[in-house]
A and B are shown apart, each in its own frame.
Chain A
């Protein structure tokens, strides 16, 4: 008998230990299920059901493919996002490199400034471009008062304007992690290369850049993920003329009430985002 009760006790305590601490996260788990997981599942479910009958159907996906305009907007979103990502990397990497080689005090100031811009809301940072480059903005007023142009130049409300705004908003997402990665590079490796007679160019391309390439890749994927889902900046700086996938989803929900088509677009954006996120995690592990 004693042996049996012993076994019972051991299994109970092992069971308790197996679920130890679960009670602490149960409330949040329930909350996340109701306010996040189930809604997302419903969207996936909606995308695969007939809008009239509610039965399972691939009709909306067929309509998506047939119309062609949705695929065009998604492709265009991908192109703009890629351009923005490459441009952000091309100016962000040199900035991070430059900051990482300043003296300690200047480094603190520069990183403080980058962090500050990161903290100012996207809406405010986007709005500032209207003040500067809008049709009634500062630059156009200058150009007109100097008599260089007679009518306002349309700097914004096109893809270029949207791209400038997006690059401005996204730069800190690339610069901050890259700077951290550059600081982790062991200076002794550079010294060894110097001692062995490598030129500065060789040291950079053969030693420093390979050591920071994974971090650069990870931050670029992060910027790409963020720009694929961008809504605010294209809505404001695109003036309705540069629809990206997120703005199209807004129209489908709030204007055309085509929820099932919005659901299809959500599922596609979700799958693409999660795929890139998987890549991001792998690159980040490599960078660490």
Chain B
């Protein structure tokens, strides 16, 4: 009780101002881009002189953007699905298994998250060029999959660790194989976590720019086209794209939070 009184004690004015100002600075991009996307003006006027959906119409009516959208969805779906399958199996092996070099293997799976993506991009560029899969959609899927693997392994490890191992022991005593235990007992119980991991991976892949720029060749994705466009000029259509991306990411975040509440223990610190 006394802790609560301490926490809610009045804070000095300068701290409140600094805190609010910093929070405002962090939210400013979203606060500006979203209203701008509904502007009726040709140029970037703030506040917008009138409301319209013309930039959304421009986005959805543009074939290049539509194709980029389809590519991005397909790419993120493939990468996150492959990553979910490989990553869940690996997470199960890491949590329940015992073998030499486990810590090293785990570090290896986490590495794509730690190594700057520009290095991964350069490495895959050189190797894919040699293998002649540079600029192919297949190569792009491989690159995205390795980038999202660490997040899937992390989330699934937390979920599997929280699952009561005694239930598995009972199944093993009754003669179930490891694979059967994973597929029939563990996974059905971890579906919310698996869904959260998949969405997480999907968003990371959907927003990815650096590796995509190096590997995509002529394949267009939404972030790649956005990057190319805004290096050249300010086009208000991009505010509509940006707003759609913001909405998409926030929706994914809400879904993940809802799933993690339903799932046994997705654990904190993921979002």
Interface residues of A (CB under 8 A from B): 17-29, 31-32, 35-40, 42-43, 46, 91-92, 94-95, 97-103, 110, 113-125, 127-132, 134, 136-138, 141-142, 168, 171-172, 180, 187-188, 190-191, 225, 228-229, 231-232, 235-236, 245-246, 249-250, 253-254, 259, 262-263, 266, 269-270, 273-274, 277
Contact = CB atoms under 8 A, between A and B. Distances in A.
B230 interface: yes
B156 to A, nearest CB: 11
Contact of A43 (B23, B99, B122, B207): B122
Indicate the member of B43, B97, B122, B252 with the most A CB atoms within 10 Å: B122
A124 B246 contact: yes
A25 B94 contact: yes
Given A94-B18, A122-B207, A123-B223, A236 B230 contact: yes
Contact of A128 (B19, B33, B149): B33
Contacts of B118: 229, 231, 245-246, 249-250, 266, 269
Q: Would you list the 7 A-B pairs with minimal beta carbon distance, nearest first?
A: A21-B97, A229-B116, A24-B93, A128-B29, A98-B19, A25-B93, A39-B123
A29 B250 CA distance: 32
Interface in B134-179: 142-143, 145-146, 149, 153, 178
Contacts of B81: none
A263 B117 contact: no
A231 to B, nearest CB: 5
Q: Which of A22, A117, A131, A266 has the most CB of B within 10 A?
A: A131
B7 interface: yes
Contacts of B105: 25, 29
A17 B172 CA distance: 14
The SS class assigned to the B binding surface is: helix
Interface string B53-71: 0000000000000000000
B180 interface: no
B223 A43 contact: no
A38 B127 contact: yes
Interface in B111-140: 111-112, 114-120, 122-127
Interface string B196-212: 00000001000101100
B74 interface: no
Looking at chain A's contact residues, is the secondary structure mostly helix, strand, loop, or mixed? helix
Given A21-B98, A25-B89, A28-B86, A236 B227 contact: yes
Nearest to A280: B114
Contacts of B182: 24
B226 interface: yes
B152 to A, nearest CB: 9
A216 to B, nearest CB: 15
B44 A101 contact: no
Interface stretch (B187-195, B237-245, B259-267): B237-245
Given A25-B90, A250-B213, 10 more contacts: A18-B98, A19-B99, A28-B109, A28-B149, A36-B112, A40-B120, A43-B122, A123-B223, A138-B44, A263-B126
A25 B109 CA distance: 10
A270 B146 contact: no
Contacts of A94: 15, 18-19, 22
A21 B44 contact: no
B108 interface: yes
B218 interface: no
Contacts of B92: 21, 24
B230 A130 contact: yes
B185 interface: no
Nearest to A26: B93
A136 B44 contact: yes
B44 A141 contact: yes
A27 B234 contact: no
B29 A120 contact: yes
Contacts of B126: 39, 42-43, 46, 259, 263
